[in-house]
């Protein structure tokens, strides 16, 4: 009997959780619901104890997130998944198609459990029970989705109407009568009162080959493009790089629109696992513990006369006085202050910042790299100062810059420096100079993180002024 292969979709940008979520560091890679576990790790953790789990999982993610994804998954039940890299985002239907093609090549009878990496489920046992109850129907060829029993009339979610045929909701698979777009408040109330409608969770269970059959019937060009992208994929370290031109030909579409709303074999399993898609700051507030005033606070926060607010500090003290139904999120380079009723409009702010060519939608001041991280401290005309952390045993590429020189001062740990034909060690409080046009490499041969201050000087200080000669991470 084929096992259940988790297919984790980790390609979103999470713009409505800006400024914490950024394009290059999106919400699924952040610790939002648990202090030390990211959403991706929590998604993997909830599979622990699921009967019949297959040996290999599949993760589909954006190419720019690959090292973060791989690093975070090392400490989970999915520590050695197949990681497929999307060259461009094309929504969930093509991502699931590529994952299904990979899975069916390994096991023609593979069952896929499709899970977005950025959902919150507070009762993993209830989730696992629902998955187990849908296994037989999926094995028999049904395309199973999971509907959330609505706790209240919600206008921010799509709905699924089950064909109950006079039967009460018993928790087992039921045929899908229809998928419904996000309703207005009155319609949502009618849905809840009827007992036939469930929130659309975006979670699925089906045989990989059945999904491919239906997708080929409904969207043959998408399947052809994904098949070509996987056939032309390149192995790169632990990653599978989908062929860019072929995958880019896919039409951007969701699993719901491409298949589930058009198939005759859709079934829904109701469940109540404390689910949220964390699609906004108010959604995150709703699943987080609050104080006696209804406030959810994170970090160094003081409140006085404030109620029902979400207040988060990442770097400095935030004091909130007389704030009611507000969202305040502080990061090193941006602060969001919003009325809770307007948090869905955060993406409009992000769009404006993008149109102005600003960096804040894309990255934090602290930028994570496969070897560690760097953080900009200050910058001015012809100079920039950074704090660099290199993980134990890690090294930067052998590289050269055309337009800048660099001064390095070791603050903590030991650095091995390659500078043209020289190789030498630097300890704490020691420094060196890398002239413009010099081949160089920075390594950490020690067992603790290497921390140093880098002072750049020159006519151009952009990150694209790098010529790499050797790189263990396969970057050009």
> pLDDT digit string (tens) for 431-462?
999 999 999 999 999 999 999 999 999 999 88
pLDDT of 421 higher than 80: yes
Find all residues with CB under 8 Å of 230, minimum gap 6, and list them: 84, 98, 101, 102, 240, 242, 243
What's the CATH code of the domain at 409?
2.60.120.10
Establish if 134 belongs to a structural domain.
yes
Cβ pair 241, 234 in contact under 8 A: yes
Cβ pair 173, 205 in contact under 8 A: no
CA separation (Å) from 339 to 280, 328, 343, 346?
12, 9, 7, 11
> Residue 403 is part of which domain span?
366-470
Same domain, 309 and 192: no
Does residue 397 sit in helix, strand or coil? coil
Same domain, 251 and 316: no
Out of 275, 307, 333, a domain closes at: 275
Same domain, 247 and 392: no
Does residue 254 sit in helix, strand or coil? coil
Same domain, 318 and 208: no
Distance of CA 289 to the CA centre of its chain: 23
DSSP labels for 15-64? GGGTTTSBTTB-GGGS-SSSSS--HHHHHHHTTTT-TTB-S--EEEEEGG
The full 3-state SS of 249-276, as one line of letters, equals: CCCCCCHHHHHHCCCCCEEEEEECCCEE
Establish if 195 belongs to a structural domain.
yes
Report residue 168's pLDDT band, with 50, 70 and 90 as the boundaries: low
Find all residues with CB under 8 Å of 88, minimum gap 6, and list them: 244, 247, 248
Establish if 361 belongs to a structural domain.
no
Same domain, 320 and 401: no
Same domain, 413 and 266: no
Reading the block at residue 310, the tokens are 């979400």
Out of 351, 379, 394, a domain closes at: 351
Q: What residues are paired with 406 via a beta bridge?
A: 434, 456
Residue whose tokens read 């019949």: 52
Same domain, 371 and 343: no
Q: Rounded to the nearest 5 degrees, what angle is found at the Cα of 261, between the Cα atoms of 258 and 267?
A: 120
What's the CATH code of the domain at 10?
3.90.550.10
Establish if 359 belongs to a structural domain.
no
SS3 content of the chain, % helix, strand, coil (to 5): 25, 35, 40
Establish if 476 belongs to a structural domain.
no
CB atoms within 10 A of CB 475: 13
Same domain, 190 and 269: yes
Establish if 442 belongs to a structural domain.
yes
pLDDT value of residue 1: 55
Q: How confident is the model over 370-381, as pLDDT tens digits?
A: 899 999 888 889
Higher pLDDT, 323 or 66: 323
Q: How confident is the model over 122-145, as pLDDT tens digits?
A: 999 999 999 999 999 999 999 999
- The mean per-residue pLDDT over the stretch 99-104 comes to 96
Residue whose tokens read 């109950």: 164
Q: How confident is the model over 299-315, as pLDDT tens digits?
A: 999 999 999 999 999 99
- The mean per-residue pLDDT over the stretch 70-93 comes to 89
Cβ pair 48, 77 in contact under 8 A: yes
Reading the block at residue 90, the tokens are 């094309």
Q: How confident is the model over 28-66, as pLDDT tens digits?
A: 999 999 888 999 999 999 999 898 888 889 999 998 898
Q: How confident is the model over 196-250, as pLDDT tens digits?
A: 899 999 999 999 999 999 999 999 999 999 999 999 999 887 799 999 999 999 9
pLDDT of 167 higher than 80: no
Same domain, 98 and 182: yes
Establish if 464 belongs to a structural domain.
yes
Reading the block at residue 109, the tokens are 């009878």
Q: How many domains does the chain have?
A: 3
CA–CA separation, 318 and 50 (whole Å): 42
The b/e string for 320-358 (b: 16+ C-beta within 10 A; e otherwise) is: beebebbbbbbbebbebebebeebeebbebbeebeeeee
pLDDT value of residue 475: 60
Same domain, 134 and 226: yes
Q: How confident is the model over 243-290, as pLDDT tens digits?
A: 999 999 999 999 999 999 999 999 999 999 999 999 899 999 999 999
Establish if 439 belongs to a structural domain.
yes
Q: What residues are paired with 78 via a beta bridge?
A: none
Same domain, 138 and 158: yes
Q: What's the first-to-final CA gap in the chain, in angstroms?
A: 43
Out of 246, 275, 304, a domain closes at: 275
pLDDT value of residue 464: 82
Same domain, 402 and 441: yes
């Amino acid at each position: 009997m084929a096992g259940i292969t988790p297919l984790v979709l980790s390609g979103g940008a999470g713009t409505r959780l800006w400024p914490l979520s950024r394009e290059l560091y999106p919400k699924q890679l952040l610790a939002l619901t648990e202090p030390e576990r990211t959403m991706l790790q929590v998604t993997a953790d909830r599979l622990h104890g699921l009967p019949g789990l297959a040996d290999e999982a599949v993760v589909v993610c954006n190419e720019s997130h690959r090292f973060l994804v791989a690093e975070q998954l090392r400490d989970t039940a999915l520590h050695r998944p197949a990681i497929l890299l999307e060259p461009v985002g094309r929504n969930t239907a093509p991502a699931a198609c590529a994952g299904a093609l990979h899975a069916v090549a390994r096991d023609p009878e593979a069952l896929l459990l499709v899970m977005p990496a950025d959902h919150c489920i507070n009762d993993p046992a209830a989730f696992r029970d629902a998955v187990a109850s849908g296994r037989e129907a999926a094995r028999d060829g049904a395309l199973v989705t999971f509907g959330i029993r609505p706790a209240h009339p919600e206008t921010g979610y799509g709905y699924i109407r089950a064909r109950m045929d006079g039967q009460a909701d018993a928790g087992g698979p039921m045929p899908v009568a229809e998928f419904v777009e996000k309703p207005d408040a009155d319609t949502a109330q009618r849905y809840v009162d009827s007992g036939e409608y469930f929130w659309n969770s975006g979670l699925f269970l089906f045989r990989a080959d059945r999904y491919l059959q239906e997708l080929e019937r409904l969207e043959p060009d998408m399947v052809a493009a994904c098949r070509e992208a996987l056939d032309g994929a390149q192995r790169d370290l632990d990653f599978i790089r989908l062929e860019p031109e072929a995958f880019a030909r896919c039409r951007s579409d969701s699993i719901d629109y491409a298949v589930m709303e058009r198939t005759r074999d859709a079934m829904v399993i109701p469940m109540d696992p404390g689910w949220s898609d964390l699609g906004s700051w108010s959604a995150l507030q709703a699943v987080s513990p609050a104080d006696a005033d209804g406030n959810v606070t994170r970090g160094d926060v003081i409140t006085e006369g404030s109620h029902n607010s979400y207040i988060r500090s990442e770097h400095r003290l935030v004091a909130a006085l007389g704030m009611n139904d507000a969202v305040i999120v502080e990061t090193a380079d941006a602060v969001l202050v919003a009325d809770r009723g307007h948090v869905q409009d955060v993406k409009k702010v992000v769009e404006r910042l993008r149109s102005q060519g600003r960096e804040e939608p894309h990255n934090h001041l602290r930028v994570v790299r496969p070897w560690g991280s760097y953080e900009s401290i200050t910058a001015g005309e012809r100079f920039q100062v950074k704090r660099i952390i290199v993980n134990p045993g890690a090294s930067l590429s052998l590289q050269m810059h055309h337009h800048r020189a660099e001064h390095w001062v070791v603050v903590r740990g030991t650095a091995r420096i390659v500078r043209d034909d020289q190789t030498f060690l630097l300890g704490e409080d020691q420094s060196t100079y890398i002239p413009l046009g010099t081949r160089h490499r920075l390594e950490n041969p020690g067992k603790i993180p290497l921390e140093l201050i880098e002072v750049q000087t020159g006519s151009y200080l952009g990150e694209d002024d790098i010529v790499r000669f050797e790189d263990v991470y396969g970057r050009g």
